[in-house]
Amino acid sequence: MNLDGKVAVVTGSGRGIGRAYALALAEAGCAVVINDIDPDVAEQTVHELNDAGHTAVAEVVAVGSAEAADKLVQRAVESFEGIDIMCTNAGLLRDKVLWKMTDEDFDAVIETHMRGTFTCARAAAVRMREQGRGGRIVVVSSWAGQRGNFGQTNYAGAKAGIAAFARTWAMELARAEITVNAIVPNALTRMIASIPGMAEMVESAEKGQPLPDMVRKQMGMGMPEDVAPLLVFLASDAAKGITGQCIGLGGDKLSLWSHPQEIAAAYRDGGWTADAIAEVWSSSVGAQPQTYGIPFLGGGG
């Protein structure tokens, strides 16, 4: 994939999957705006890219507010005269079960993931429409957003909303030739080490130990660099006709996620009563209830 001349902003790209996204885009020819809340981490990634012959600058700001989003887009415009790709990757976790989750836990995750995706995508869309050359907006959903996950009310809610953003914005931006897709990544990062059962696997991967086939194939989980090619593909001309999709990548597994849709229906002349619903539920629309939770984390049903 050749992305020479393209300009990308990747939020939360100082470390983890965001850093892998930025490196992959730069290696494909993109100029990249690196974003992180830690100036040392952001500058380190910029120096690494520049030392390798790539083009990158840093914008240190916490995503969420409209002001932060405008700064990121303006940094791309001032440094590289435009923006072609916006990847809204920045995120954090504040995991607790429902009855223990505080307002602050909820708001922090919604602010960064959901509001940050909204404000950054909006700022990019405004500029891309002004430029008149199309563009790519790639948002980041998750397994939790698609399936739900124990202890992740805030995160799952935000990520489900982000998937809905992609479907909505794909329609709204089609005339401007701006595609919008959601990546559903599955990678071992420091951020997911707090999830029960994942810390040991993350530690093992950080030591350079190879992941077994069961992890890479059945769980579809790998390292951050395993996810990054999907962003490069979606940013390229090869994906100009792909929009409104939720696409998963992790380890050795590439997947397309379904959209919510009706899978069963029943009809009753004159409408339904509660008793009538109870009478037919198990033999009609409720005959095959949908599963939920993330299988390889042992949750749901």
- Enzyme catalytic residues: 142, 155, 159
The CA-based angle 198-202-203, given to 5 degrees, is 120
Partners of 254 in beta bridges: 249
Residue with tokens 């696409």: 247
Kindly report the backbone phi and psi dihedral angles of residue 179, in degrees, each rounded to the nearest multiple of 5, phi listed first: -90, 150
Burial (CB count <10 Å: 0-12, 13-18, 19+), residue 65: middle
Pairing of strands 135-140, 178-185: parallel
Pairing of strands 7-10, 85-88: parallel
- The amino acid occupying position 162 is I
Kindly report the backbone phi and psi dihedral angles of residue 5, in degrees, each rounded to the nearest multiple of 5, phi listed first: 85, -5
- Among 44, 46, 109, 92, CA closest to 190: 92
Residue with tokens 């009609």: 284
Q: Kindly list the distances between the CA atom of residue 61 and the CA atoms of 75, 101, 116, in Å, as whole numbers in the listed order.
A: 11, 26, 11
